[in-house]
Structure 1
Amino acid sequence: MPGPLEEEPDDLPPGPRAEPPETAVVNDWAKAEGLHAARLARVAGRLGALDDRLQRGPEGWRHRLALIEAADLSWFAGDRVSSDRLALWVSMRLSGAQDDPNALARVGWAARRLIGGPGPEADLAAFLDRRDPETIEDSAERLQDRAGGWLDVMAAAAELHPVTRACMGFHLWSLAGLGHHGDQIEAAVTASRIAASDGSGAIFAPLAMGGAGGLRASSSPAERLARWLDGMNSAILTAMRHLDEIEAWGSRAEETTSQLSGRTPMALCSALTEWPLVSAPMAETLTGASRTAVQRNLAWMGERGLIREVTGQGRFRMWRVAF
């Protein structure tokens, strides 16, 4: 009987080990970041300037920009919720017969997450306000697993700039199985919070103000990052111009209303700074003043060119600041 076969020694050098899939993905985005380093530095500088300005400015500025961004994101995603409808929904949970309640819920969620609260990387499922149904098939992939896979890739990209990581996370959203009907808004809001994660004044990085061009899909990571940076640059500039206008209006309103007594004029100015559009019932709720006092002061401010009525109706009127 022949003896047992002896294994021949393996003298070949070890071959390259297969990289984890997230490593290959991150490497592609790292190359894209290096390719657009100068453009990234310029956008990061502008985001830093916005962060500093919001940190020094009144709290109402952050709230105002968040509502504008949420409304613009809804148009990008196809929900088309206007600023006035969003303001009524967020402030008083009011909606019209023609409003889509699901669309309002999605854009309302976006506004809340852009206004503040914990970021997405601490607990993505909680950030999305989503949970698996109580009855789920054993073969179905759970949300926690899908979210965990996406977070693993984001963690592997920790060395990348937050703006690059945000872009990568946005474009990997659907591939991670996180998408459903509202996935475009969810992905964009999540990315905007990640992009601003190093700041203390800006809760989010604007993406949709100025056209949402950076959110359009393209082919390679390099092309996607280039489009992302251009879109974010445009959105930040739009946000800064808006802050210029609201700051100038605030100074003019303070000077004009200084002759008035009582707290209602000042409270109305704060509400108009915080909200892009204000109705009389909203103003009554936000200021704590009576309906009569609110309407009298709104009329007075309108006569002096501080605000303008935008609906042209006798009822259900809305006012905004007159820049």
Structure 2
Amino acid sequence: MVAAMTQRDDDMTGQMSEEPWFLPGPAEPAPEPDPLLPGASRQPGESDIVAEWLAAQAALAMPLARLAQRLGALDERLARGPEGWRHRLALIEAAELGWFTGDRIAPDRLALWVALRLSGVQDDMAALTRAAWAVRRLTGGPGPMEGLADFLGRRDPREMAPGAESLSDRASAWAGMMEAARALHPIARAAMGFHLWALAGLDNPGDRLEAAVTAARIAAEECRGAVFAPLSLGGAGALRASGPVEQRLRRWIEGMEDAIRAAMRHLDDIQTWQARAQDQIAGLSGRTPPALVRVMVEWPLVSAPMAEKLTGASRAAVQRNLAWMQRAGLIREVTGQGRFRMWRARLRAPVQAT
């Protein structure tokens, strides 16, 4: 009997020493994917990337052709129009791109900074500098394919690290990919370059702004009057980076089409305003009124110090003519304050009382 009790105690002790039945057992390692099996993931090569974009371009041939026609119409109009139109669109585009990248620079602050290098204590100097860079690149100068590192005009702090790849090397690799995609239409190639920006290691604080400005210049590289193709005037839908290549290119085409429509409508408005303003100032003497009209065409927002510098007229003459233009319904003051006032063209003629 004692032996039986001892045997039972040993059995209970053995059972208690085992792991509880409700705990999960050790996890088995996941099997390694066989790189030779179909569907195994691999890093796409240069030819694979270009082939994807070529396939997307072929699938969207009709929308791309319509967009190219719209861009050609904008190009022709800007080629025949005054230089101020291009500058005005560049300022508006740079301000809109700032909202997309998170800088949120108001057009009046950007205009003051570009024209006079004036800023307020609340302004983000780095954001203003980036926006001013965008305005300069969108108004002229050598394009990115003539030397991307020079086009960007920045020094990457990572170059200071021992053994780090230089910005010039990364820019050359990106440019090589763009050259390999010469079979793409410039609009589609610009979209590819924008979406490959981070993959090429060109990311930087404000990199989305740099990528967008670079792409805008590439899309218009065959244009004569348009320095850049608008991307954000109708919203930032073209710049959303998600989904497969065909979906990205479709959003790019639709977003750029909206932006070009907005640019054409704006040019319609400013052209109508310019004709109305020239008709109303015809009876005025002096060179200040026509000079102010040109400034209002070129700049979306104008202050008295800006107008003084840009027209070369005296402060008294500028203020007197601004007041006359406001009374005539040609311009309106937008700040609503006594000092540091800003004016813009009243693109819609005020309704006359009957």
TM tier relative to shorter chain? over 0.9
Alignment of 1:45-194 (within 5 A): 45-132=69-156, 136-194=160-218
Task: Check whether the contact 2:159–2:167 (CA below 8 A) recurs between aligned residues.
Answer: no
Q: Name the SS of the counterpart of 1:121 in structure 2.
A: helix
Q: TM (normalized to structure 1)?
A: 0.93
Q: Name the SS of the counterpart of 2:160 in structure 1.
A: coil
Q: Displaced runs of 4+ in structure 1, greater than 4 A?
A: 132-135
For residues 162-190 of structure 1, the C-alpha deviation after alignment (integer angstroms, 9 at most, x for no partner) is: 00000000000011100111101000000
Deviation at 1:134, TM superposition (A): 10
Identical positions, percent: 64
For residues 232-280 of structure 1, the C-alpha deviation after alignment (integer angstroms, 9 at most, x for no partner) is: 0000000000000000000000000000001000000000000000000
Task: Check whether the contact 2:67–2:257 (CA below 8 A) recurs between aligned residues.
Answer: yes
Deviation at 1:321, TM superposition (A): 0.2
Rounded to whole Å, the distance in 1 between the matches of 2:221 and 2:212 is: 14
**Structure 2: runs of 5+ lacking an equivalent:** 1-42, 348-354
Rounded to whole Å, the distance in 1 between the matches of 2:273 and 2:101 is: 31
Rounded to whole Å, the distance in 2 between the matches of 1:274 and 1:152 is: 37
CA RMSD of aligned residues (A): 1.4
Rounded to whole Å, the distance in 1 between the matches of 2:152 and 2:249 is: 24
Rounded to whole Å, the distance in 1 between the matches of 2:297 and 2:161 is: 49
Deviation at 1:294, TM superposition (A): 0.2
Deviation at 1:131, TM superposition (A): 2.9
* Number of the residue aligned with 1:232: 256
Rounded to whole Å, the distance in 1 between the matches of 2:200 and 2:339 is: 48
Q: TM (normalized to structure 2)?
A: 0.85
Deviation at 1:91, TM superposition (A): 0.4
* Number of the residue aligned with 1:242: 266
Q: Name the SS of the counterpart of 1:25 in structure 2.
A: helix
Give yes or no for the alignment of 1:215 onto 2:239.
Answer: yes
Q: Identify which of structures 1 and 2 has the higher relative contact order when contacts are C-alpha pairs closer than 8 Å and 6+ apart.
A: 1
Deviation at 1:217, TM superposition (A): 1.3
Deviation at 1:20, TM superposition (A): 8.7
| Structure 1 residue identity aligned to 2:211 | A
Rounded to whole Å, the distance in 2 between the matches of 1:175 and 1:134 is: 16
* Number of the residue aligned with 1:8: none
CA pair 135-49 structure 1, distance change in 2 beyond 3 A? closer
CA pair 318-39 structure 1, distance change in 2 beyond 3 A? same
Deviation at 1:138, TM superposition (A): 3.1
* Number of the residue aligned with 2:320: 296
Give yes or no for the alignment of 1:255 onto 2:287.
Answer: no
Task: Check whether the contact 2:234–2:259 (CA below 8 A) recurs between aligned residues.
Answer: yes
* Number of the residue aligned with 1:12: none
Alignment of 1:297-316 (within 5 A): 297-316=321-340
Rounded to whole Å, the distance in 2 between the matches of 1:132 and 1:106 is: 15
| Structure 1 residue identity aligned to 2:96 | D
Deviation at 1:159, TM superposition (A): 1.1
Deviation at 1:212, TM superposition (A): 1.2
For residues 17-54 of structure 1, the C-alpha deviation after alignment (integer angstroms, 9 at most, x for no partner) is: xx992111100000000000000000000000000000
CA pair 152-135 structure 1, distance change in 2 beyond 3 A? closer
**Structure 1: runs of 5+ lacking an equivalent:** 1-18
